[in-house]
């Protein structure tokens, strides 16, 4: 493609990013509604695909997108195609019949939804999600934490909350602790129900935690996803309007293979990967101060490099982290002024920085 067309295409993406979904703060590019931009000389054709119950809102988006594109320097003719999908309904049987796509109306007042994911369980995904959410809150952002792990929702324990959520009218109130609004599948699902039966209930449970919870206006919602890259993860990844995903891994090579699978899953559904966090990276002996790399070291960094994503940082292995998780007080609360506090604040800043960058970057269509 000629350079001129390439730069025109970029200008068109930028113009589309100024178009907001009616009544919402987020733009249509970040929602993933722009399926394709085609440029041939001065002719531009844009294809939008929107999942909504309100076709008039989608039509308004189409008109505004067309105006925005027509206003770009160098564009002679602008045409915007619109395809409206029905959002998946709350009826799980019907939902299974429908194409899966993100529904922005589920959480209109949330600016960035960031998934924390891992290729397998036990790598510290929930620990990272909890501490990251709290650190982002302490950095001055309005933060929510959604525990969507069907296999082992652990936020009730990590936050030390044993009550049931309160209901106000027909809304569920999130818990608020350590400056974070919190909701977990653990508060909703009966954990003794076998996972295989929980499966079909999961999307309904997750939709309820998005749409029926009084989240209010949030800068970030951190989502603790179930580990792995199977159907359940893929469905949630597609259905929740994600801005990006953070992948947690341990440093050894076998774990990194799973991290790569996680990355591939997000790229497949066009969710930007914000970066990789290496957890359980090095153990500092509390007695002699010597560092041991229990699970090797540096694997996360190498993987990030190979897969062309950002290495966000590493979290050391420390029994205090385990103890904090079990006691309902995440380490970033207990050790705010210490080394662990610094680690998670730095991670929070790296995530915020990368999310802002991703939001400002034209999302090129995947071919």
User: Binding residues for Mg ion, per CB under 5 A?
Assistant: 126, 154
Site string for ligand ADP, 204-243 (x = CB under 6 A): -----------------------x----------------
Q: Which of 69, 132, 321, 348 binds ligand ADP (CB under 6 A)?
A: 321
Q: Which is nearer to Mg ion, 126 or 309 (CB)?
A: 126
Residue 148 CB, nearest distance to ligand ADP (Å)? 12
Sign of CA dihedral 154, 144, 313, 322: negative
**340 is a site residue for ligand ADP (CB under 6 A):** no
Q: Which of 147, 207, 318, 354 binds ligand ADP (CB under 6 A)?
A: 318
Round to whole Å and give the CA distance between 261 and 118. Answer: 9
Q: Which stretch binds ligand ADP (CB under 6 A): 11-19, 49-57, 115-123, 212-220?
A: 115-123
The partner in contact with residue 318, picked from Mg ion, ligand ADP, none with C-beta cut-offs of 5 to 8 angstroms by kind, is: ligand ADP
Site string for ligand ADP, 25-64 (x = CB under 6 A): ----------------------------------------
Residue 120 CB, nearest distance to ligand ADP (Å)? 8
**124 is a site residue for ligand ADP (CB under 6 A):** yes
Residue 252 CB, nearest distance to Mg ion (Å)? 19
**279 is a site residue for ligand ADP (CB under 6 A):** yes
Query: How many residues make contact with ligand ADP (CB under 6 A)?
Result: 18
Using CA atoms of 160, 127, 271, 253 in order, give the dihedral in degrees to the nearest 10: -160
């Amino acid at each position: 493609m000629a350079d001129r067309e390439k730069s025109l295409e970029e200008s068109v993406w930028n113009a589309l990013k100024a178009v907001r979904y009616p009544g919402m703060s987020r733009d249509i590019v970040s929602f993933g509604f722009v399926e394709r931009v085609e440029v041939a000389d001065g002719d531009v054709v844009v294809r939008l695909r929107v999942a909504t119950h309100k076709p008039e809102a989608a039509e308004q988006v189409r008109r505004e997108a067309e105006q925005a594109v027509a206003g770009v320097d160098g564009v002679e003719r602008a045409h915007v195609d619109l395809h409206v999908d029905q959002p998946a309904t709350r009826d799980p049987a019907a939902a299974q019949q429908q194409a899966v796509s993100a529904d922005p109306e589920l959480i209109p007042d949330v600016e960035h939804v960031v998934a924390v994911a891992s290729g397998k369980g036990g790598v510290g995904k929930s620990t990272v999600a909890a501490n990251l959410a709290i650190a982002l809150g302490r950095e001055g952002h309005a933060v929510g934490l959604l525990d969507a792990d069907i296999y082992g929702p652990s936020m009730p324990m990590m936050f030390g909350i044993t009550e049931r959520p309160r209901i106000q009218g027909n809304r569920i109130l999130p818990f608020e602790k350590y400056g974070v609004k919190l909701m977990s599948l653990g508060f909703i699902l009966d954990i003794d129900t076998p996972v295989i039966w929980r499966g079909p209930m999961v999307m309904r449970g997750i939709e309820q935690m998005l749409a029926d919870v009084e989240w209010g206006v949030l800068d970030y919602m951190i989502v603790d996803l179930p580990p792995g890259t199977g159907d359940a993860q893929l469905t949630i990844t597609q259905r929740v309007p994600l801005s990006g995903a953070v992948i947690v891994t341990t440093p050894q090579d076998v774990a990194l293979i799973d991290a790569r699978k996680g990355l591939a899953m997000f790229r497949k559904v066009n969710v930007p990967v914000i970066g990789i966090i290496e957890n359980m990276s090095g153990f500092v002996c509390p007695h002699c101060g010597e560092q041991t790399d229990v699970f090797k070291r540096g694997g996360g960094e190498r993987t990030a490099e190979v897969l062309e994503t950002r290495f966000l940082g590493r979290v050391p292995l420390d029994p205090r982290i385990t103890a904090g998780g079990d006691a309902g007080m995440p380490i970033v609360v207990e050790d705010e002024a210490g080394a662990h506090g610094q680690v998670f604040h730095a991670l929070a800043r790296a995530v915020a920085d990368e999310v802002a960058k991703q939001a400002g970057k034209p999302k090129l269509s995947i071919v």
